[in-house]
Structure 1
Amino acid sequence: MTLPKSLNEGDTVGIIAPASPPNINNLEKALPFLESLGLKVKLAPYVKEVQGYLAGSDQQRLLDLHQMFEDESVDAIFCAGGGYGTGRLASMIDYEFIKKYPKIFWGYSDITYLHTAIRQRTGLVTFHGPMLASDIGKEDFHSISAQSFNQLFEPTTLDYNETISPLEVISEGEATGEIVGGNLSLLVSTLGTPFEIDTKDKLLFVEDIDEAPYRIDSFLSQLKHAGKIAEAKGVIIGDFNNCIPKNDRPSWSLEDVFQDYFSSLSMPVIKGFKIGHCQPHFSIPLGTRATLSSTHKTLTVEPGVKKETKHED
C-alpha cells in the first residue's frame, strides 16, 4: 500500500464534489473548520455545478478530480458530500495519474466506490471520514469527529474501544488485515464490475443509512453469495443510521439480520462502531492494517499517512 504524506500547517486542501450537488450553505459554513486546522482551501472549478442529481457532468466532476491530484499546490483532497454518482466516474479515471500524484483523499458514503477503485487500482490508502457539506457544516458536528482530522498531520495509531461507544460481539476471535469497505449498498454495486471489492484476508467494514432491514439482508446476501464474507478475516459493523422497518408489516430487526449472517462465522465480528452516517463519526484509513479483537472489544488501526522529513541543503 502507498501511504500519502501527512499534512503540515499552511498546506492546501482541494474540495471536490464527485457525486451529488452539495449544500452550498453547509459547505461554506464548514470552511472555517479547515482554516482552524491551519489549512488553506481551494475549491475545484465545478464544485458548485448542478446537473440533476449530479454535481455537474461526468466530465466536469472527472476534471475536478484529476486537476486536484495533479495540482502541486494541493496537498489533500476532501469531498464536499456524497449522494450518488461516483460509480459513473470509475471507468474514466486515469489511475496511473493518481499513482504519479498520490495524496490524502477523504470522504465516505457514495465516495465508497472511489475508495475501492482507487485503492485496488493504485494501492493508495484513502480515508473514510466526515465531509464538509454533509457533516462539518452542520450544528451537530461532534468533537470526536473533529479530532479525527488530527491523524492527517502526524502518523497515528488509532485505538477504538468502548470509551467511544458500546460494542457488541457477534462472533468471537481476533484477526489482523487491511481494512476495506464502506457503505454497504455501494460495495454491493461494485460486484460484477472491474472494481469489485476484494475482501480476501481483509477486515471488511460496512455501514449504511435509511435502509430497511430486508434491504440490508439483501445486500449481505449478495456479498455472501459472491464469497466476499467468507473470504474476509473479520467484519467491522459501523453505524446503520435509521435502518429500521419502514411500515407495519412483519419484519426482522437489524440485529436479527446481523445475527443470521454473522453469528456462526469463525472470525471476529463486532458491531457498534460510530463510523458512518452518524455523530460522532470516527474516521479511519482504508487500506492500512488493523487488528479486530473480540476479547478486548477493540479495533486498532495503523497510521494512514507517512511523515516526510525535509532535507537540508
Structure 2
Amino acid sequence: MMNRKGFLRLLSTGSIGTALANTSFSSYEDNSFIKPKKLQEGDTIGLISPGFILPDPKKYDEIIKQVKKLGYKVKEGPNARNKYGYLAGTDKERAADLNAMFADDTVDAIMPFRGGWGCNRILPFIDFETIRNNPKILVGYSDITTLLVSIFAKTGLITFHGPVGKSEWTDYTTQSFKQVLGGKLNQFHIPEKGVCESCDELAVITPGQATGKLIGGNLSVLSAMMGSDYLPDWNNSILFLEDVGEDVYRLDRMLTQLKLNGVLERISGFVFGQCISCEMSSDQSLTLKQVFDDHIKPLDVPAFSGAMIGHIDNMITLPVGLSVQMNAKKGIIKLKESAVR
C-alpha cells in the first residue's frame, strides 16, 4: 500500500498517472487463484436471474426441466421470477439470490436463467467475502460477463464463460460444458469444422504463441465496466471478446475505449469469437478486419478471430482467470491445468 509521503512524491514528480495506471484493483494476490470443485452429474445447480426477466413465465419451468435432463438437480433462487420493469426484481433482490447461492452448502454450481442487462447494477450489493469463502462454479455469458470478471478480480475465483439456462444445449455445447466443468478437457481447437456453418472462420490477425490468464467476455459489457474497481489486472492476460447486434463502428468505439483505458497495451494475446448480426452500417463503413488491423495488429501479440465463443448455439465453455496457452496460427487455446479441483 502506498503511504502518504510516497503519494506526495509521485504527485510532485508527475508520476502519479503512471502509478495509478499500473495499480491492480484485485483484492487477491496476483499469482493466486481459487479453483471451484468440479461439477458431476447428480450435483445441484442453483438457477438465478441477475439481470433480465424471461418474457414468457413458462420458460422458467422449461429451463429447469432441461437442466434436470442434463443430469443435475436444481435449486431456484427465491427472487428469480420477480419482476421490476425489464429486470428480474430489484438490484438488492437479484444480488441476494447470487449471495445466497454461494453461501448455500447444498448448491454445487450457479447458472443464470439468462443474460440481457442488469448485472452491473448489482455489483455494489455482491458479498465478495462470502464468495471467496465458499468457492463454486459460476457459469454464463453475455451480461453475465460482469459477474465472471468482477468475481475473479475481487476473489481470485476461476469463473466460466459458457451457456446460461436458456441456451440451446446442443450436443456440442453440452459436451464442452460437462468436460470443462468436470475437469476432463484441456484443449480447444477453434473453430471446429462443420459445427457452425454461419460462423466466421478462423482468421489470423497476428501469428504466434502466447501464455497468459484468460480474461474477457462480452465487449459491450466490458466497455461499460471501464473505470470501475471491479476489473482485474490485465497484465499478461489473453483477452477474449464476443458481441451481438452491434454495427462495426460501435465495435470500433468500444475497442477504442479499452485502448484508451490501457487494457490493450497490457495483454499478451487476443481472441475474438463470433459477432452475430454485427453488420457494416453503410458501404463506407470499415470492415471488422480493418478495425482489428487498426487496434490489435499494432500490439504485436498473437491474435486471431473466429472462435466458438458468443451468442451461438454451439459454444465452448472457457475458464476466466486460468492461465492458458494460445496458438494464433492454428486457432488453439490450451489450458495449462484443470480449471476445477
Please give the TM-score of this superposition, normalised by the length of structure 1: 0.91
1:88 offset after TM fit, Å? 1.0
Q: Corresponding residue for 2:51?
A: 19
Q: Corresponding residue for 2:258?
A: 223
C-alpha separation in 2, matches of 1:193 and 1:152: 29
Q: Determine whether 1:158 maps to 2:190.
A: no
1:158 offset after TM fit, Å? 2.8
C-alpha separation in 1, matches of 2:79 and 2:331: 43
Q: Corresponding residue for 2:205?
A: 170
1:25 offset after TM fit, Å? 3.4
Q: Determine whether 1:255 maps to 2:289.
A: yes
1:38 offset after TM fit, Å? 2.1
Q: Which runs of 5+ in 1 are unaligned?
A: 307-313
1:66 offset after TM fit, Å? 1.0
Counterparts of 1:281-300 in structure 2 under 5 Å? Answer: 281-300=315-334
Q: Corresponding residue for 1:52?
A: 85
Question: Does structure 1 conserve the Cα–Cα contact (< 8 Å) formed by 2:247 and 2:278?
Answer: yes
C-alpha separation in 2, matches of 1:220 and 1:235: 12
1:100 offset after TM fit, Å? 1.0
Question: Does structure 2 conserve the Cα–Cα contact (< 8 Å) formed by 1:155 and 1:305?
Answer: no
Q: Corresponding residue for 1:146?
A: 174
Cα RMSD of the aligned pairs, angstroms, is 1.6
Deviates more, 1:156-165 or 1:82-91: 156-165
Q: Corresponding residue for 2:34?
A: 2
Q: Corresponding residue for 1:237?
A: 272
Counterparts of 1:56-135 in structure 2 under 5 Å? Answer: 56-133=89-166, 135=167
1:26 offset after TM fit, Å? 3.5
1:156 offset after TM fit, Å? 2.8
Residue 299 of structure 2 aligns to a residue in which SS?
Answer: coil
1:185 offset after TM fit, Å? 1.1
C-alpha separation in 1, matches of 2:190 and 2:256: 29
C-alpha separation in 2, matches of 1:224 and 1:298: 25
1:198 offset after TM fit, Å? 2.8
Q: Corresponding residue for 1:311?
A: none
User: Which structure has the greater CA radius of gyration?
Assistant: 2
Q: Which runs of 5+ in 2 are unaligned?
A: 1-32, 196-200
Closer, same or farther: CA 256–194 of 1 in aligned 2, 3 Å: same
C-alpha separation in 1, matches of 2:184 and 2:170: 22
C-alpha separation in 1, matches of 2:45 and 2:328: 37
C-alpha separation in 2, matches of 1:57 and 1:278: 29
Q: Deviations over 1:103-123 (max 9, x none)?
A: 000111111111111001000
C-alpha separation in 1, matches of 2:215 and 2:79: 29
Closer, same or farther: CA 197–221 of 1 in aligned 2, 3 Å: farther
Residue 111 of structure 2 aligns to a residue in which SS?
Answer: strand
Amino acid at match of 1:156: L
Please give the TM-score of this superposition, normalised by the length of structure 2: 0.84
C-alpha separation in 2, matches of 1:27 and 1:285: 26
1:225 offset after TM fit, Å? 1.3
C-alpha separation in 2, matches of 1:155 and 1:100: 25
Question: Does structure 2 conserve the Cα–Cα contact (< 8 Å) formed by 1:158 and 1:303?
Answer: no
1:197 offset after TM fit, Å? 4.4
1:153 offset after TM fit, Å? 2.4
C-alpha separation in 2, matches of 1:26 and 1:250: 42
Q: Determine whether 1:43 maps to 2:76.
A: yes
Q: Deviations over 1:232-276 (max 9, x none)?
A: 000011111111124x46211222212221223311011000101
Residue 124 of structure 2 aligns to a residue in which SS?
Answer: helix
C-alpha separation in 2, matches of 1:100 and 1:287: 18
Residue 7 of structure 1 aligns to a residue in which SS?
Answer: coil
1:93 offset after TM fit, Å? 1.1
Question: Does structure 2 conserve the Cα–Cα contact (< 8 Å) formed by 1:190 and 1:197?
Answer: no
C-alpha separation in 2, matches of 1:211 and 1:60: 30
Identity of aligned residues (%): 36
Residue 310 of structure 2 aligns to a residue in which SS?
Answer: coil
C-alpha separation in 1, matches of 2:37 and 2:53: 29
Question: Does structure 2 conserve the Cα–Cα contact (< 8 Å) formed by 1:187 and 1:197?
Answer: no
Aligned length: 300
Residue 275 of structure 2 aligns to a residue in which SS?
Answer: strand
1:192 to 227, 232, 253: 227
C-alpha separation in 2, matches of 1:153 and 1:197: 25
